[in-house]
Structure formats: C-alpha cells, structure tokens
Amino acid sequence: MSSKTNNIEEIEKKLKNGIFNLIQERNDFLLPQVLDFVQVKEWMNIQPEYQRRRVWDIKRKSQFIESLLMNVPIPPIFLLEWEYGRYEVMDGQQRLDAIISFYSNEFKLTGMKYWTELNGLSYNQFLPLVRRALDRRRISATTIMTESVVDDDDKLDLRRLVFERLNTGGMKLNSQEIRNCIYSGQFNDLIVDLSGNEIFTKAWNIPSHSDNISEGKITDKLSNNTLFRRMGDCEIVLRFYALFESKHLKGSLKTMMDGAMNRRLDITDDEIKVLRESFINSLELANEVFGEKMFQITDSTTGKSTQSINFYDAISVIFHDLRSKSAEILEKKEEIFELVQNLIAVPENYENLVNRRGSSTEISVMKAFFKNAIINLLD
C-alpha cells in the first residue's frame, strides 16, 4: 500500500473520529442578561485562571459603551461550556467586564466622542430613555459546547488550542499572559499567588494586594500598576524558577521560562510546597541583606537607584543556591551588602546589569560573578 493511500486513510479516520470536531452554538444576549448570568445565576465565569488580568482603563471601557449605544457591530465573545450550563470566557473578557462594571455603576463615562452629553455619568444617572436604549443592545456569543470532547484532559487541550487560535486581535497578549492560559494549573496558580507576596510587591513598587484586593474587587491603584496589569509580576516570579536549575539553563530566557512552565504541568502538592518554600526563603534572605535596596542597582556617576531585573535574577538564584549557608549570610549581611554595592559601582559591572539581554550564557556568567564573590567573603 502506498504512502499516499495511507495518508488518505489517516485523513478519513481523523474526519470520521472528529479530532476536536467542535460543536458550537451562537446566541445573542441583551446587555442586562450578561450581568444576570455572571452575578446572579453565576452561569458564566469571566475570570478563569488562564485569563489575563483586566487591562482596559475607564476611557476604553467608556468608548466601548458608546459603541454599544451607537449599535456599532461588535465582534462576538467566545465561551467554553466547561460543564453543562456553566461557561467560561475564552475571548471577550475585557468587553464583558466593561458591561458588568458599567451596569454595576463602578465608573462614570469619560472620553465619549459622539455622546459627549453622557460624559461624567454612570448607568444609574442615565435618563430612563437612554437606559432603555442601552438595555436593548445585544452582544453575540459563540459557545463551544461540552459535547465537543469526551474527558477533562481533552477539554484542557481544547481550551489551550482555541485560546491560542483566538489570540489574533484586540490588545495582543504578551508572553506571560499566553503562558497563563497554555500552562494553567497548580504551578501557574503558585506563581500568581507568590506575585502577591508582601516582600515581593514592595521590592517592585507594586501596591500591596492585602490593601488593594477585597472580596475579589481590585482597586484602580493596583489594576493600573504596569507590572500587575499585564502579569509582569508573575513573569518576574517565573524567572526564578526558570533559572534556579542549572541543568535547564539553555537557549533564550523565553525558552527557559516556557520550559519551566511545561515541565511542571503535572506537578504534585508536595512539589508545590517545596517550590513555594524555595522562592519565599530566597526572597526573605535577600530582604534581610539588602532591605529597601533589594533588587536595586545604583549608578555611581548619578547616584540614582533603579530596579534591575538582571540583578534580581542573579541574587534570587544565588541565595537559593546558598540556602545551606543562610546563617552565615545573615551573620555577615552588612559585609555582603557593602561587597555587592562596591561591585555594582564598577562601571563595567553596572553596564552589564543594565544591558544584559538574557541569554543562558550571560545569565550564568553574571550569577557566577556575584556568587563567587559572596562565597569568598563567607570563607
């Protein structure tokens, strides 16, 4: 039998068995129904763990509400029926959040171009006629039904596939937002959780989670923070796990971070516990040694201090490597602080920390440089 015949048979088999042969439904929902589905009946989850954080500001939300009032065609949202009658949003989260937060009177319209009379108003301040006009508007949804796949593993694969394919327009997802979807699971949850650590947020000038998140609601102060908004904080945490195993220091930083997520898709609870302790112990040790200057480097010519992701890479991993010497490090923390500051003050070292691109070779060299200096001091 020829290879061509074999290929034809494989194609026919795939078509017959249905490799992700999706079952879809299309519906239109009145805007008040969206609020009902999410907040009252709890049928729809607009913030599944793999979705990005909310990134639209009030002006962009306002312009979307204006588009709805004008009946401008809106792209459909995409839902996945995770179980019968329960849905999660795969595409359209920002649009749905704008609808829900406006109907909940959480913001006042601003930057309206055609309905300027409505600037400064929330939904409950609309004239009844305008409220009724908005309530008549609809948003379309394409739903991938739960019958599309048989078991939960296939459902996860389907979710990742569709999410990736849908990520072609709108506000393009960055690498960490994509990882948040593709590699969703216990390890990803750990990264998100650790990004709210009080020592960590203080080091990176991120507003405290405990002060800015209450009952699932996030303050504007936190949601507008650049690192938090686009999951840059989670990527910083991930860098630690991508770099602390020397056997995996190969290729670009992006490749190493993707690999760190992929290797831990089926991680156990015990492994999660160990990984959590590794990060927190390293973070706490760095805080003891460097205090307010943790992960900061100072330009000796200007005296200006800035946060350095490259310095973070080196110090966080070094303190993990030297965890057995924690007591000695704490005993000589003032000397270590002074040593490191003097090393950074050397123009060549400072430039390396500022300009390093993130190849595995550069990371290894920088880590070895600081690590050897600290070990020599301890000895």
β-pairing, 77-83 vs 44-45, is unpaired
pLDDT average, residue stretch 320-324:
95
Q: 147 and 278 share a domain?
A: no
CA angle, corner 196, sides to 80 and 271, nearest 5? 75
Q: 231 and 119 share a domain?
A: no
pLDDT at 28 over 80: yes
Assess if residue 341 is contained within a domain.
Answer: yes
Instruction: Give the total residue count for the chain.
Output: 379
> Phi first, then psi: what are they for 209, rounded to 5°?
-65, -40
Per-residue pLDDT band at 52 (split at 50, 70, 90): low
DSSP string, 68-109: HHTT---PPEEEEEEETTEEEEEE-HHHHHHHHHHHTT----
Q: 16 and 126 share a domain?
A: yes
Assess if residue 193 is contained within a domain.
Answer: no
Q: 252 and 136 share a domain?
A: no
Assess if residue 324 is contained within a domain.
Answer: yes
Q: 328 and 255 share a domain?
A: yes
Assess if residue 124 is contained within a domain.
Answer: yes
218 touches 212 (CB < 8 A): yes
Per-residue pLDDT band at 4 (split at 50, 70, 90): low
Q: 60 and 167 share a domain?
A: yes
Rounded distance, CA 370 to CA 356, Å?
15
pLDDT average, residue stretch 179-201:
92
Q: 85 and 143 share a domain?
A: yes
Instruction: Note the pLDDT of residue 131.
Output: 95
Q: What percent of the chain has pLDDT over 70?
A: 90
Q: Domain total for the chain?
A: 2
Q: Residue 75's CB: how many other CB atoms inside 10 A?
A: 13
Instruction: Note the pLDDT of residue 172.
Output: 73
- State which amino acid sits at residue 328: E
Question: What SS3 string covers 309-344?
Answer: HHHHHHHHHHHHHCHHHHHHHHHCHHHHHHHHHHHH
Q: 8 and 147 share a domain?
A: yes
Report the DSSP beta bridge partners of residue 365.
none
Instruction: Note the pLDDT of residue 320.
Output: 96
Q: 121 and 59 share a domain?
A: yes
The per-residue pLDDT for range 101-157, each reduced to its tens digit, is 999 999 999 999 999 999 999 999 999 999 999 999 999 998 888 777 666 666 667
Name which of 46-50, 96-100, 299-303, 373-377 the model is least confident about. Answer: 46-50
Assess if residue 192 is contained within a domain.
Answer: no
Ramachandran bin of 20, using left for φ above 0, alpha for ψ from -120 to 50, beta for the remaining angles: left
DSSP string, 109-121: ----SS-GGGTT-
Domain end position, chosen among 104, 138, 172: 172
Assess if residue 272 is contained within a domain.
Answer: yes
Instruction: Note the pLDDT of residue 300.
Output: 79
194 touches 201 (CB < 8 A): no
Q: 322 and 224 share a domain?
A: yes
pLDDT average, residue stretch 184-210:
94
Assess if residue 187 is contained within a domain.
Answer: no
Per-residue pLDDT band at 311 (split at 50, 70, 90): very high
Q: What percent of the chain has pLDDT over 90?
A: 54
> Phi first, then psi: what are they for 45, rounded to 5°?
-105, 110
Rounded distance, CA 182 to CA 60, Å?
27
| More confident: 38 or 122 | 122
Among 363, 50, 77, 92, which residue's Cα sits nearest to residue 176? 50
Domain that holds residue 348: 217-378
Domain end position, chosen among 155, 172, 189: 172
Assess if residue 108 is contained within a domain.
Answer: yes
Q: 162 and 262 share a domain?
A: no
pLDDT average, residue stretch 269-288:
97
Domain end position, chosen among 112, 140, 172: 172
DSSP string, 214-232: ETTEE-HHHHT-HHHHTTH
Q: 153 and 237 share a domain?
A: no
